[in-house]
Amino acid sequence: MAVEQERRKTGFLNFSERSRAENISTIRKIWPWFFLVVMVIIFTIASQTMNAVNFLSVRSLQGILIFTTQILLLALGETLVIIAAGIDLSVGFILGLAAVIAAEIMKYLYAAGMPPWVVIPLGMLGGVLVCIIPGWINGILVARIKVPPFISTLGMGYAVFGVALLISGGYPVASQPPYLGQLGNGSLLYLWIGKGIAFFKIPEYATNIDLQSIYPLLPNVVFVTIIVTFVCWFILGKMQYGQHLYSIGGNLEAAVRSGIPVKRTIIWVYIIAAVLAGIAGSLWAARFTSGAANAGETSLLMAIAAVVIGGASLFGGEGSIIGTVIGALIIATIQFGLVILGMPPFWQFIAVGVVVIIAVIVDQFGRTMEM
């Protein structure tokens, strides 16, 4: 084994050894896809058997995608941070802060007489922009003051949670402008079976009976999440900044010696993660027409789990946006599938925990076999 490891380090592997390493690496990359397919098959059979529900219906698939959005938006930021060998434990609470700020802005502006089409964009934008502050502070603490990311972001998370509670008074922020719920729960496209496609809203002349044959094809929150995901994929895979994140996470000392602006890169990655959490918080405010400090309390660990399931290394230098998307879809499928089956909510945490353990075992076993 020691001889083989030394040969691997020096690059002297014969064809069979190289083929074996490539096969193991491929298995590590594709197992989440396989697991997702297995989960879909299991829930399809179980839902049909237990309560005669079609798990693969259009409405069910839309439900899974909507479940995915909040987890994925947080997980995208965590992916960038984890690739740079960091961690951000504050994004769940930053999501809550964004939801509260967005709801408060919309509440007061609408009460002041401003029209909804002005109030809603300003409120959601305000909820996103305010998140730059805790993200910037996180970056400064980690990059310049050298506080461990676990400690600095944990402390920031509790501080942000306290601020959100103070602003909201500990209660959900209600009294929101009209049309906010339609925006948060609406869709860009609606398929009306037999009559074509409607844009942005269900036709006003549709009756309650007609609603049974009208399907949302692209929910607004899903559309926004797709755009954000593509931007993150472009940053990580096509921009020099993304390569800098991989370099910093892979070998910090080498990154410094090669001239990469390490401190500035780390500061920006925490700002980006906070902004993504702000987008998730503003969308939460639109979906539920309110703002709550605890809106993202349970989403943080789900987001980190999605990143781990997607194949990112918590030691840095490894991970991908596509893998994180698959990880988030797996978690959302588990959550939605258990809801369809009528299982108590706590089973969701148990199931996700088991999947994370499986992901870590597969990853560690693959790394051992590659050595």
- pLDDT tens digits, 201-215: 877 777 777 777 777
Alpha-carbon distance 302 to 332, whole Å?
A: 9
SS3 of residue 214 by DSSP: strand
By the 10 Å C-beta count (0-12 exposed, 13-18 middle, 19+ buried), 81 is classed as buried
pLDDT value of position 15: 47
pLDDT value of position 198: 78
pLDDT value of position 77: 96
- pLDDT tens digits, 49-61: 888 788 888 888 8
Angle at alpha carbon of residue 232, lines to 90 and 131, rounded to 5°: 35
- pLDDT tens digits, 73-87: 999 999 999 999 999
C-alpha distances in angstroms, 183 versus 120, 203, 226, 229, 288? 9, 15, 16, 20, 10
Contact call for residues 263 and 144 (beta carbons, < 8 A): yes
- pLDDT tens digits, 156-172: 999 999 999 999 999 99
Which structural domains are found in the chain, ordered by start?
A: 54-172+220-366 (1.10.3470)
What CA dihedral angle connects 324, 328, 329 and 332, to 10 degrees? 180
Q: Where are the beta strands (DSSP E) in the chain?
A: 189-192, 196-199, 214-216
Strand partners, 122: none
Using 50 as the pLDDT threshold, list the residues of the chain that sit under it.
Answer: 1-13, 15
pLDDT value of position 126: 97
* Prediction pTM value: 0.90
By the 10 Å C-beta count (0-12 exposed, 13-18 middle, 19+ buried), 227 is classed as exposed
C-alpha distances in angstroms, 146 versus 81, 159, 300, 335? 15, 19, 23, 38
pLDDT value of position 50: 84
Alpha-carbon distance 76 to 320, whole Å?
A: 9
pLDDT value of position 9: 45
Which backbone phi and psi does 297 adopt, to 5 degrees?
Answer: -60, -40
What is residue 217's DSSP assignment? S
Contact call for residues 156 and 149 (beta carbons, < 8 A): no
Which backbone phi and psi does 294 adopt, to 5 degrees?
Answer: -95, 20
Contact call for residues 219 and 64 (beta carbons, < 8 A): no
Chain centre to alpha carbon of residue 148: 23
pLDDT value of position 11: 47
CA atoms within 13 A on the CB side of 27: 15
Closest of 295, 320, 296 to residue 308, by C-alpha: 320
pLDDT value of position 60: 85
pLDDT value of position 369: 61
